[in-house]
Amino acid sequence: MHPWATKTIASCALLTLASAGLADPGQCTASSGPQLTPVVELYTSEGCSSCPPADKWASTLKGKDLVVQAFHVGYWDYIGWVDRFAAPAHTARQREIAGKNRQRTIYTPQVVLDGRDWPQWNSWTSSVTGKREPARAHIALKRLADDQFEAAVTAKSDWAAYWTVTEHGHNSKVKTGENAGEFLKHDFVVRQYTQAGKHKATEAQAAKLGFRSIAPTPGHARQINLVVFEPQTGKTLQALSLQCQG
């Protein structure tokens, strides 16, 4: 599918981690490690005929030492199929990334690696699973209640952050539009995206961030993700993913 042109505008029990975190299985907490955990963002749409291969590729990243997020966008809905996972905030984030990358358009499927456009995603998986650079921030996450989470963040430089809730195992039987007749399967679906503001360097004392999540969707494993990044460039400083059972 051709890019959609737009003017760029400058958001407990056992624990399983999809990051380099150190888990406390009794309390559902996690702490990031010394190496950077890469962040992969997929911008996709159920109305885009070229997106299913990217969705399948994203599913192959389950269980890897990454924070993966599939942001569904709605700007292809007019073709005939409304993507129920899309949100305007997802498109706004994609535009924000385009601005930092000096791109004049946004498109699907697009993969972003640590804040940078990554068109080679389908053949360069080793670049996100190989040697890691040192992290420039530290994150500790814990669950306070079923829908309440807290993070403690320290960083050597000014930083910004956002939270997401992602879920696995969603699917749709598409009836109209470019993917009519297709049965689409999705993992890492972003169900909630919440910006956590900009902050000054916090190396001397950890900054506390609170987060209230939406209710879990029964039957779908979910992850609570926090991404800390450089405000000017969008480059990841550190990221952590928390998955609690019960």
Domain ranges of the chain: 11-242
Residues 6+ apart with CB under 8 A from 63: 18
- Looking at per-residue pLDDT, the higher value among 5 and 238 belongs to 238
- Condensed to tens digits (0 to 9), the pLDDT of residues 28-81 reads 999 999 999 999 999 999 999 999 999 999 999 999 999 999 999 999 999 999
pLDDT of 98 strictly over 80 = yes
Reported as a pLDDT band with limits 50, 70 and 90, residue 125 is low
> Cα(189)–Cα(195) distance, rounded to whole angstroms?
17
- Condensed to tens digits (0 to 9), the pLDDT of residues 162-210 reads 999 999 999 999 999 999 999 999 999 999 999 999 999 998 999 999 9
H or E stretch including 207?
strand 207-212
Give me the pLDDT at residue 19, please: 41
Give me the pLDDT at residue 127, please: 60
Average pLDDT, the chain: 89
Q: Which pTM was predicted?
A: 0.88
Average pLDDT over residues 81-108: 97
Average pLDDT over residues 104-116: 97
3-state SS class at 191: strand
Cβ atoms of 139 and 237 within 8 Å: the answer is no
Give me the pLDDT at residue 44, please: 98
63-58-246-193 Cα dihedral, nearest 10 degrees? 130
Residues 6+ apart with CB under 8 A from 197: 160, 161
Give me the pLDDT at residue 124, please: 63
- Condensed to tens digits (0 to 9), the pLDDT of residues 197-226 reads 999 999 899 999 999 999 999 999 999 999
pLDDT of 2 strictly over 60 = no
Reported as a pLDDT band with limits 50, 70 and 90, residue 103 is very high
Cβ atoms of 151 and 56 within 8 Å: the answer is no
Give me the pLDDT at residue 6, please: 33
Of 81, 3, 5, residue with least CA distance to 47: 81
Q: How far is CA 33 from CA 13, 15, 50, 142, 230, in A?
A: 21, 16, 36, 15, 18
> Cα(117)–Cα(170) distance, rounded to whole angstroms?
26
- Condensed to tens digits (0 to 9), the pLDDT of residues 141-152 reads 999 999 999 999
Of 72, 79, 3, residue with least CA distance to 44: 72
H or E stretch including 198?
strand 189-199
Residues 6+ apart with CB under 8 A from 28: 12, 13, 15, 142, 143, 242, 244
pLDDT of 11 strictly over 80 = no
Among residues of the chain, what percentage have pLDDT more than 70? Answer: 86
